[in-house]
Structure 1
Amino acid sequence: MDVLSHYSSPVIEFPATQPIEKQNALVDNCTGTDPPPLSLDAGTETQEMQHVATQTEQCCSSKSVDYDERALAKWLRQICPLVEQELSQPTPLMEDQQSSQCTLEEQLQVHTYQKLTMDSVENSQGLAIWLCVHTNNAPVLVATTVAPHDDWCEHVEQQLKLFVPQRMSHGNFVVYSEAKALPLKSCLRSLCTNGFNKQMFAGATMDGELFVWLYEQARAGGDSSAEVKQLHSVSSTYGAAVALDWVTEQRLLACYANGTVLQWLVAKQMTLDWEYSLPASVATELTTMVSLGLDDFVLGTNNGGVYRCWSTSRQPAADRSNKQLQLLALRRHRFMVSTLQKTEMDGHQIVVSCDLSGQTYYHDMRHEEEDTAQLIVQIPLPFKNAIACSRDANIIYCPSSDGALDYYRISDGARGHVKGVLRGRGQFIRISDNGCWLITGLYGNEFQIFYIENNFSE
């Protein structure tokens, strides 16, 4: 092995080109103060990119630009409310929708409760109302079927059935059983419960008759039986009333397709209080109605119109044959108005309107002069034109195919679904005043009753 020896390499020096003692002033070329050249290369000049859709300039001069301030202000007035509405009601993400759906179905549990079988012909529709509470927070039910027909009804063997909930011997349950069946001369076009006396209800037949009935719970010894007494019956020359609603305990409104509204005074005798007809300028067919108070109601039409009619003063009795009311057009639908419901939201009176496409408007009745309909809901496909609302108007219930039920929470867009076991497509839904019971139909010849178990305060 060679012995390593100490060896020093020669130093290679790179002498400086500038004297070390000399100091040079440094100049930043980026901040130079030299004057710009006399001409610029147009091919490399930086151009500001502008979107054609939002362009508000009248000319494209490189030195001076004039802006159309009126066009800009108009565009801002159009876009700002839309942006504000989008920010106030953001669309939830798919993950949020799934999680909120689970939360909704856990907090608002809707159960299929009981099926009711009716005598009906093919393609019949259902009609039902809830009366007073009988037992276990369960109200009495009145139901009937409407056979298919056009302008008049040839089915004379129709029945109005009364179902009374009976407490079961085991468990805290009730079962609806048929207690009474009333024969009808023809099919009923509309049914309505008296909200001021829920033992009283009214119905309008296809042949133009108007009936008022009273439900009574007769007790004999230890047994109890239900009775339905017919109080009044009147005929109208306007045909079948498309909608009925009670103004007070003794005042009944009847709405007809030709634009006429009649108010009946129901006492010892049933007499006509006043008559009102829509102006000739509103040439349309009425489809539905809801009463807001004395001489105050909302009408829905077959061309999507929604009108509020009201009077601030009482007319003399001599002038009531031709009632004079103020008319206000609310936000218009694109299709026929199929549902009108009165409810409350945040302590304010709200009218909910729904058309054939499933589009739902919430009309705030405080805004008489200008209907804003601030809340607009589009029910998801498939379209559903029959809806019912919860007491606070935050939940919308819709009948689905095969006895199923869909419900939506307006505040966050959450959706719930209850699977059905029937066949057919439901065209009718009605919720009880206490918000605990729903009935939908008609599926073939059966109604479906649902029970709503609310685990949170509305």
Structure 2
Amino acid sequence: MDVLSHYSSPVIEFPATQPIEKQNALVDNCTGTDPPPPGKEVSTSTQQKQHMGTQTEQLTGNTNGSVEYDERALAKWLRQIYPLVERELSQPTPLMDEDQQQQQLASQGALQDQLQVHIYQNLPMGSVENSQGLAIWLCVHTNNAPVLVTTTVAQHDDWCEHVDQQLKLFVPQRVAHGDFVIYREMKALPLKSCLRSLSTNSFNKNIFAGATMDGELFVWLYEQSRGASDANVDIKQLHSVTSTQGAAVALDWVTEQRLLACYANGTVLQWLVTKQMTLDWEYTAAVGGELSTMVSLGINDFVLGTNDGGVYRCWSTADRSSNNQLQLLTLRRHRFMVSTLLRTEMDGHRMVISCDLSGQAYYHDMRHEDEDTAQLIVQIPLPFKNAIACSRDANIIYCPSNDGALEYYRVSDGAHAHVKGALRGRGNLIRISDNGCWLITGLYGSEFQIFYIENNSKD
């Protein structure tokens, strides 16, 4: 071990840059009246005040006011604040006292007790990555469970080259020694191209229609042999026509034999479906944007939604419609694209619910022809929900959430309930059966999710 020794280092002198003898005159800035010194040190100029919230600005030494931003500090701050903002937006906490909070929690608990939604079954589709889904409910088969038709839509633009698409039929079958059913795939029908829309004939739920991306319209019939087993089911194609308008963005049935189809360019076609499928009439809606959705209210009466937020009611009192016979009424306008139109009833009155991409839903009262009485407005909490379904009394709104979860809201008191999912992805579709007992959402990866609704209310 080295022995420590005392060592004195030489003194290093830094001589002053100014003579020590020189004295600077001091001026009292508080009471003095002398003018400021002629010279001023540039390095002592006042720096611009930085934002105390982010602390991300770095000032340069020049005096022209230019600012350089520290991107690493900004990114670090965003990573810290983003989860908090997202959590606050998805679950807003309005200012309320303890009594109001207790009332809200009690209403939410009552909603979950009265309306229990259970995850029932997953339906694998084997689709390609980033596909979307279409699904509709048909007639009731057994145990109050309806037949289900599904398909997948691959990502593409205006034209479709996916010729290996299929329309799949799922039939509920009773389980031995159990009081429940399981949906099994019973039929797979090849399609020429992806479907743009699907619609069940509400007057005859064995019949349904679909529009493909290449402009074709198909009408199918679900068949089951009487007295046969559940396995003896089939899908029969009844009609097929080609339209020059392109892919129909929405389909709806006016009557058992009349099919309404609307197109993005504003054209609405009504087809007469009998032994042959013939064009009944054609109408061009004079609206600003492209049509995005449609719902039929009856003979020569329907509501249109556009990609710029417009909602329009078109109707005529004549037996047959033409361009100059249909009247166009502008309803309450959304700020974003109208993604969903639902026909329903509330308190015995006919209503149309419109929902845009921001999750804002309007309830339009169809009793008045000369004004829009959409006084009821529901703002669905974030994240945005552009696909909704509603109960038969229009008091409950269902929304698919991320990862196979489901959220539902009671309009009367604002109660909110959540069903946790176990899938991956964000659902873009939701359909509820006519009896209000079954929901299907998707597509999550390559699977649909079926929910069962159990209503325990005393009403």
TM-score when normalising by structure 2? 0.77
For residues 134-155 of structure 1, what are the alpha-carbon distances to aligned partners after superposition, in whole Å with 9 as ceiling and x for unaligned?
0000000000000000101111
Match of 2:184 among 177, 180, 184: 177
1:375 aligns to 2:376 (yes or no): yes
**1:94 CA drift (Å):** 2.2
Contact 2:252 2:295 in 1 (8 A): yes
Q: Corresponding residue for 2:313?
A: 308
Q: Is 1:347–2:348 an aligned residue pair?
A: yes
Cα gap change, 1:444 to 1:224, in 2 (>3 Å): closer
CA distance in 2, matches of 1:314, 1:259: 22
Aligned to 2:194: 187
Quote the residue 2:159 is aligned against: 152
Q: Which residue of 2 aligns with 1:248?
A: 255
2:84 matched residue in structure 1: none
Report whether the alignment pairs 1:141 with 2:148. Answer: yes
Contact 2:173 2:230 (8 Å CA) reproduced: no
Q: What displacement does 1:224 show?
A: 4.5
Residue type at the aligned position of 2:293: T
Q: What is aligned with 1:455?
A: 456
Q: Is the 8 A contact 1:390 1:396 kept in 2?
A: yes
* C-alpha deviation, 1:218, in angstroms: 1.8
For the Cα contact (< 8 Å) 1:218–1:224, is it kept in 2?
no
TM-score between the two structures when normalised by the length of structure 1: 0.77
Alignment of 1:437-452 (within 5 A): 437-452=438-453
CA contact (8 A) 1:199 1:216 kept: yes
CA spacing shift, 1:222–1:298, aligned 2, 3 Å: closer
Q: Which residue of 2 aligns with 1:105?
A: 112
- Aligned position for 2:239: 232
Task: List per-residue Cα deviations over 1:354-390 (Å, max 9, x = no partner).
Answer: 0000000000001221112010000011110100000
Q: CA distance change for structure 1 residues 407 and 221 in 2, over 3 Å: closer, same or farther?
A: closer
Shift of 1:106: 0.5
Say if 1:204 and 1:323 are closer, same or farther in 2 by CA, change over 3 A. farther
Q: 1:278-427 counterparts in 2 under 5 A?
A: 278-279=285-286, 282-315=287-320, 322=323, 324-427=325-428
Give a deviation string over 1:59-96, Cα, whole Å, max 9, x none. Answer: xxxxxxxxxxxxxxxxxxxxxxxxxxxxxxxxx92221
Per the alignment, residue 173 of structure 2 pairs with 166
CA contact (8 A) 1:244 1:252 kept: yes
Specify whether residues 202 and 221 from structure 1 end up closer, same or farther in structure 2 by C-alpha distance, changes over 3 A only: closer
Q: 1:262 to 1:222 in 2, by over 3 A?
A: closer
Give the corresponding residue for 2:7. none
Contact 1:186/1:207 (8 A) holds in 2:
yes
Distance 1:191 1:221, change over 3 A: closer
Structure 1 segments (4+ residues) deviating >3 Å = 219-224, 320-323
CA gap 1:372/1:334 in 2 versus in 1, 3 angstroms = same
Equivalenced residue count is 361
CA distance in structure 2 between the partners assigned to 1:240 and 1:321 by the alignment: 22
Q: 1:200-233 CA distances to partner (integer Å, 9 max, x unpaired)?
A: 0000000000000000012465564111000000
Paired amino acid for 2:107: S
* Matched-pair contact (CA < 8 Å) for 1:274–1:323: no
Q: Is the 8 A contact 1:394 1:409 kept in 2?
A: yes
Q: 2-side partners of 1:139 and 1:153: how far apart?
A: 31
Residue 12 (structure 2) aligns with: none
Give the alignment's Cα RMSD to 1 decimal.
1.3
Give the Cα separation in 2 of the matches to 1:284 and 1:105: 40
- Offset at residue 323 of structure 1 (A): 6.2
Q: Structure 1: how far apart are the matches of 2:271 and 2:325?
A: 16
- The residue type paired with residue 118 of structure 1 is M
Letter in 2 for 1:297: F
1:191-210 matches, cutoff 5 A:
191-210=198-217
SS at match of 1:207: coil
SS at match of 2:104: helix
Query: Are the equivalent residues in 2 in contact too, given 1:274–1:322 (CA < 8 A)?
Result: no
CA distance 1:114–1:158, change in 2 (3 Å): same
Counterpart amino acid of residue 288 in structure 2 = A
The 8 Å contact of residues 318 and 325 in structure 2, kept in 1 or not, is answered as: no
Q: In structure 2, do the counterparts of structure 1 residues 457 and 228 end up closer, same or farther at CA, with 3 Å as the change threshold? A: farther
Residue of structure 2 in register with 1:276 after alignment:
283
SS at match of 1:93: helix
CA contact (8 A) 1:140 1:163 kept: yes
Q: Is 211-220 or 438-447 further displaced after alignment? A: 211-220
Identity of aligned residues (%): 80
**Equivalent residue, structure 1, for 2:51:** none
